[in-house]
Amino acid sequence: MNPCLLGCVVFCLLQAGAVHAGVTQDPRFQVVRTGQRVTLNCTQDTNHNYMYWYRQDPGLGLRLIHYSAGTPYTQKGDVPDGYSVSRPSTETFPLTLKSANRSQTSVYFCASSDSTALHDHLLSVQKDR
């Protein structure tokens, strides 16, 4: 890749970081000791009922930790062990690592939506002739 183009791509990505997305995670970066209790905060200003916490590990796709279908309801996802959540308000969905360990080193993502994908999308299948 041309060095000038690479510089432009990096600059453009840095500029894109300032765009208002409606969902905020705090803190952005966190380093903790093994055994420490840690809370990652997620807030949204879009008034969505559904909120989700995911983790992404190297070489793997996003994995659902917990989700909420509205205040105060929460559900376990695919990898809930070692985590707890609460939904104190429509805007907030904190994720707590009960006792941080090395296997929880990951990139965490919070998301929100008006509804679940299962309710909004129909599966389209085309039969080969």
31-40 residue pLDDT tens? 999 999 999 9
Q: Which domains does the chain have, with CATH numbers?
A: 22-74+108-116 (2.60.40.10)
C-alpha 94/C-alpha 128 separation (Å) is 47
C-alpha 115/C-alpha 50 separation (Å) is 6
For the whole prediction, is pTM greater than 0.75? no
pLDDT in tens, 33-64: 999 999 999 999 999 999 999 999 999 999 99
Query: What are the φ and ψ backbone dihedral angles of 104, each rounded to 5 degrees?
Result: -95, 5
Weakest mean pLDDT among 13-17, 92-96, 123-127: 13-17
3-state SS class at 32: coil
Q: What is the model's pLDDT at position 123?
A: 44
Share of the chain above pLDDT 70, in %: 73
The number of CA neighbours under 13 Å toward the Cβ of 9 is 6
- As a whole number, the mean pLDDT across the chain is 81
For 1-61, strand residue ranges (E) read: 23-26, 38-44, 50-56
